[in-house]
Amino acid sequence: MIQLKDVKKRFGRTNDEILAVDGVSLTIDEGEIFGIIGYSGAGKSTLIRLLNGLETPTTGTIKIGNREISAFTGKELREARQKISMIFQHFNLLWSRTVKQNIAFPLEIAGVKKADRERKVAELIELVGLSGREDAYPSELSGGQKQRVGIARALANDPEVLLCDEATSALDPETTDAILDLLTNINERLGLTIVLITHEMHVIRKICHRVAVMEAGKVVEIGPVLDVFQSPQAPITKRFVSQVTEPAGTDQAIAHLPGGTLIKLVFVGEKTEHPVLASLIRKFDVDVNIVQGNISHTKGGAYGSLILQLLGNENDIDTAIAYLHELGVQTEVIGNE
Ligand SMILES: Nc1ncnc2c1ncn2[C@@H]1O[C@H](COP(=O)(O)OP(=O)(O)OP(=O)(O)O)[C@@H](O)[C@H]1O
């Protein structure tokens, strides 16, 4: 378990201070994939660097397992850091070393014997799907393959925690998904705790159990991913959720609709399968136009949203909306003319 208590990190001098992390308290469970999302400058990188002891908090404490990493220095810190690995946006591979030699590097530093090193490297190459590329150099690999090397290297010392710093931000969408699948697979097979930072809600949706949203150094929202999708509270969280749930151009599409009442329905879990729309049309004297529909799958279940235009008299529309509430479908009126 990772526990942060009122962690603050201040940079700069008295007159020119930046509070990069401003009073963050949170707990990350063992075996969890925990995502931290925020725009540039929100404090994500600083927070992740605090987790692996690259920065020390100005105030507050950070515990990983029962070790208070924020109080460690020197040898104690170096040892603790062997159990906290990291992968990076730009991979940080050694260009003059082959795939095999890159993965072996942390084992060499830890003083592992050659025969054990070779066995471990072979196992890791298989785990990350790089069999056949052992002797290639990083310059001969695709972006996705480079990140697979990064992941194998990060796992070499059997870490307790894997930190991912925008690990898929330099990759195309298909490769991103393949790397996210690999991280999920590793989390499930090894029970490894994964903490990732990103500015992409797609990454959070696809693999995280829980998410914390950061803005100006603070965690403004935290919870299971499905809950956050279903009812985002902070304005910034709403913007992130709409990255996934509302295709580009939705606002313009809505703006150009003449008349009627616009409603947004949110379905969670099995209700996505419920034939709500059919019964709405059957039961009420309203015309229903589908403006936009979308289903997103999270680790906690499916989340669907549907924007509808209802045309008819006010009374019928109100009764139809009341019926949706009765069915337990989250319904919000987003426009009325
Ligand atoms: N070593 C440092 N010295 C001074 N200011 C810093 C330092 N590191 C970060 N900052 C400042 O702290 C704030 C948070 O930066 P941080 O890099 O943690 O944000 P971020 O959310 O990771 O953004 P990005 O994705 O752009 O890296 C920024 O205002 C940044 O300029």
Each residue's pLDDT tens digit, 53-93: 999 999 999 999 888 988 888 888 888 888 999 999 999 99
Which residue is closest in CA terms to ligand 1's atom 2?
11
**CB neighbourhood size of 7 (10 A):** 23
Name the residue of 11, 37, 54, 196 whose CB sits within 8 Å of the most ligand 1 atoms, as the mutation to test its pocket. Answer: 11
Average pLDDT (141-152) is: 96
Q: Is the pLDDT of residue 272 over 90?
A: no
* Structure tokens, 27: 């707990």
Residue nearest to atom 18 of ligand 1 (CA): 43
pLDDT score of 274: 59
Residue with CA at minimum distance from ligand 1 atom 3: 11
Atom of ligand 1 nearest to the CA of 214: 21
Q: Whose CA is nearest to atom 28 of ligand 1?
A: 41
**Span from the CA of 17 to the centroid of ligand 1 (angstroms):** 12
Cβ–Cβ < 8 Å for 300, 209: yes
Indicate whether residue 11 lines ligand 1 (CB < 6 A).
Answer: yes
Reference 38, options 216, 192, 161, 160; nearest CA is 216
The first and second tokens of residue 325, run together, are 């509430």
Is the separation of the CB atoms in 180 and 207 below 8 Å?
A: yes
Alpha helices in 110-249 (DSSP H): 114-127, 143-155, 173-190, 201-207, 225-230, 235-245
The residue that leads in pLDDT, 290 or 22, is: 22
Please name each of the domains of the chain with its CATH number. 2-243 (3.40.50.300), 247-336 (3.30.70.260)
Provide the terminal-to-terminal Cα distance of the chain, rounded to the nearest Å: 52
Closest CA to 300 of 231, 228, 195: 228
232-245 tens-digit pLDDT: 999 999 999 988 88
Q: Is the CB of 20 under 6 A from ligand 1?
A: yes
Q: How confident is the model at residue 12 (pLDDT cuts 50, 70, 90)?
A: confident
Q: Please give the distance, rounded to the nearest whole angstrom, from the Cα atom of residue 47 to the centre of ligand 1.
A: 9
Evaluate whether 37 touches 204 at the Cβ level (below 8 Å).
yes
Ligand 1 atom nearest the C-alpha of 166 is 25
- Cα–Cα nearest to 39, from 166, 224, 226: 166
- 43-56 burial code (b ≥16 CB/10 A, e <16): bbbbbbbbbbbebe
Atom of ligand 1 nearest to the CA of 197: 22
Q: 196: closest CA among 169, 171, 163, 170?
A: 163
Query: Cα–Cα distance between 319 and 325 in angstroms, integer?
Result: 10
> Quick one: pLDDT at residue 271?
58
What residue's CA is closest to ligand 1, atom 5? 11
pLDDT for 17 beyond 90? no
What's this model's pTM, rounded to 2 decimal places? 0.88
From the number of C-beta atoms within 10 Å of its C-beta (0-12, 13-18, 19+), residue 190 rates as: middle
Residue tagged 């591979």 (tokens): 93
- ∠ CA 235-326-262, rounded to 5°: 50
In tens, the pLDDT along 173-210 reads: 999 999 999 999 999 999 999 999 999 999 999 999 99
Sequence-distant (6+) residues with CB within 8 A of 30 are: 1, 191, 193
Identify the pLDDT of residue 337: 67
pLDDT at 269 over 80: no
